[in-house]
Structure 1
Amino acid sequence: MTQALTGPVKPAKSGNRKAVVVLLHGYGADGNDLIGLSDPLEDHLPDVEFRAPNAPERSAMNPMGYQWFPIPHMDGSTETQRDAGMAASIDLINAYIDGIEAEGVPASKIALVGFSQGTMMSLHVAPRREKQLACVVGYSGRLLAPERLPAEIRTRPPVLLAHGTADPVVPFSSMEEARQGLEAAGIEAATLGCPGVPHSISPDGLVAALRLLKTWLD
């Protein structure tokens, strides 16, 4: 594999990295869109490094941003292109996590935090890895192909799903559908509905994520 994911990195505030949070952005965005989440979190997680890799493909809808896979009903791509894009991104994300482990950070101290399409990737990748990751936080996303998960699952990291009730992009109902799909595969998934919040990350969603991250990364 010649391509590798790159993007902004926020070093551990303490200067002593013990854990890593990987932030996976949404469709048409980039790593800079999420690396700012480290600002309110780093004082509470001083030994955590934050990384926000850019997805591998430029977005057809926003050439300044990236996509983990194309979305046929939005950008005119085919289902074959969508599936190929997702498969390539899965391999690249796994290689990215493998690289963090190779630096000496154990899987148990690596968390995935996704937004929208980044949530979809996080929920797909994490439970299929051989070594269990610390946890997964998914904002405003959905679980892709839930029917395949019970047969493909290898680990069961704790999951938090947060979703705005006024999301016009990914329906709020997707959160409950994801919870059911995860729990059918034996994954404990906590949920947080954020009243009146659109397709974004709310302060209460960030607080809930901090609680989970402190539990598993401290």
Structure 2
Amino acid sequence: MTKKLVIFLHGVGSNGNDLAGLGPHWAPRLPGVAFAAPDAPFRFDHGPGYQWFSLDAITPQNRAARLIAARSAFDATLHALLSAQQIARPENVLLVGFSQGSMMALDALASGRWPLAGVVAFSGRLATPDPLTPRCQTPVLLAHGRVDAVIPWEESESAALRLKTTGLPVETLFENGVGHAISGTGAQRAVSFIARCFGLTDAL
């Protein structure tokens, strides 16, 4: 069986260990799937941890430029992981992002740079500027708490609408009473989604 890889992409000011713990919990549901949880390539501006791009003086007007400037370092991080895992095709890779990591995951797909097996984006937003140009029909799951005080849940609702206009299959999970976090329900929905993306539904 062709090797499959899930890559976790953490939020700003955090590190790879923040999401890595999901791997052991999900592994029984995803037999034969490997997991990786890299640190973002840049040190966080305001303390320990890492960031995919700086939030200093960021605005809705300059966010897309920050995202685009971060692409080369992001892509280098992923290419290094694929090489280490001896995976030649991005179609065998699925990205799971949280917050800023979700922005990077969605941008990797929406910009057409990465033809992935799937994307799970928790508590994120689609900051990629139009036109969106995904290269394949990659399934997407957007999960967001309705009381998120960091990134409003409507950002994921907007992302779903934009991604659907490109023909991508998009699923959403909007949870009452959940803030800027990954809930137990969200994690369970995600692992089921990933299993389907990798054709492992018989293992559930």
How many residues of Structure 1 are paired with residues of Structure 2 in the alignment? 197
Unaligned runs of 5+ in 1: 1-15
> How far is the alpha carbon of 1:169 from its aligned partner?
0.4
Partner of 1:40: 25
Counterpart CA distance in 1 for 2:39 and 2:114 is 24
Q: Tell me: CA distance 1:105–1:40, structure 2 relative to 1, closer, same or farther (3 Å).
A: farther
Q: TM-score, normalised by structure 2?
A: 0.85
**Matched position secondary structure for 1:182:** helix
Counterpart CA distance in 2 for 1:78 and 1:142 is 14
**1:195 partner letter:** N
- Contact persistence 2:124–2:151 (CA under 8 A): yes
**Matched position secondary structure for 2:197:** helix
Partner of 2:43: 58
Unaligned runs of 5+ in 2: none
Q: Tell me: CA distance 1:176–1:83, structure 2 relative to 1, closer, same or farther (3 Å).
A: closer
- Contact persistence 2:9–2:97 (CA under 8 A): yes
Q: Tell me: CA distance 1:131–1:28, structure 2 relative to 1, closer, same or farther (3 Å).
A: closer
1:122 aligns with 2:109: no
1:188 aligns with 2:173: no
For residues 164-192 of structure 1, the C-alpha deviation after alignment (integer angstroms, 9 at most, x for no partner) is 01101000111110101111222121000
Q: Tell me: CA distance 1:130–1:200, structure 2 relative to 1, closer, same or farther (3 Å).
A: closer
For residues 142-180 of structure 1, the C-alpha deviation after alignment (integer angstroms, 9 at most, x for no partner) is 00135331xx33233100000001101000111110101
Q: Tell me: CA distance 1:197–1:23, structure 2 relative to 1, closer, same or farther (3 Å).
A: same
Identical aligned residues as a percent: 39
Q: Tell me: CA distance 1:145–1:18, structure 2 relative to 1, closer, same or farther (3 Å).
A: closer
- Contact persistence 2:52–2:74 (CA under 8 A): no
Partner of 2:126: 143
**2:181 partner letter:** S
**2:179 partner letter:** P
Counterpart CA distance in 2 for 1:76 and 1:130 is 27
Q: TM-score, normalised by structure 1?
A: 0.80
**2:50 partner letter:** Y
Q: Tell me: CA distance 1:83–1:160, structure 2 relative to 1, closer, same or farther (3 Å).
A: closer
Counterpart CA distance in 1 for 2:82 and 2:57 is 37
